């Protein structure tokens, strides 16, 4: 496999991906949230952790609230950095009804305890 430079949409890092399947990578640039992580450990946290959680949670939100399963609808999210803890992610869905929010919360609870609906 030819290495590829990857910039995740979850932070400002940049990683040279050597192998997606085994999460091998070489750190090119580290954002403030991921200081101290290098190479494969960096790839594991950003790709296998945060990026996958974000993508799986978005998928579950769209399944739980079908009206959001539309390519023209963007579901904003934000990661919160807390020193010494895993980054938590919040999805901003202020236009949902109480039931839709509850359905979305239930759906993402199976993905991560660090994910919430705002």
For the residues of 87-104, what is the DSSP string, one character each? PEEEE--TTS-HHHHHHH
| Confidence at residue 33, expressed as pLDDT on a 0 to 100 scale | 87
What are the tens digits of pLDDT across the range 23-39? 999 999 999 889 888 99
The encoded tokens of residue 111 equal 């993905």
What is the share, in percent, of the chain residues with pLDDT greater than 90?
57
| Confidence at residue 95, expressed as pLDDT on a 0 to 100 scale | 85
Helical spans, DSSP H, in 1-118: 39-43, 52-64, 98-109
Q: Is 35 left (phi over 0), alpha (psi -120 to 50) or beta?
A: beta
What are the tens digits of pLDDT across the range 78-101? 988 765 567 888 998 878 999 999
Q: pTM score, two decimals?
A: 0.84
């Amino acid at each position: 496999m030819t290495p590829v430079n990857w910039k995740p949409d979850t932070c400002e890092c940049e990683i040279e991906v050597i192998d997606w399947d085994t999460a091998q990578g070489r750190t090119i640039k580290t954002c403030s949230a991921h200081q101290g992580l290098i190479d494969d450990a960096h790839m594991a946290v950003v790709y296998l952790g945060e990026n996958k959680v974000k993508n799986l949670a978005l998928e579950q939100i769209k399944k739980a609230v079908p009206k959001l399963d539309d390519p023209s609808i963007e579901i904003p999210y934000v990661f919160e950095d807390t020193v010494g803890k895993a980054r938590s992610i919040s999805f901003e869905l202020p236009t949902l009804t109480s039931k839709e929010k509850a359905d979305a919360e239930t759906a993402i609870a199976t993905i991560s305890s660090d994910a919430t609906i705002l």
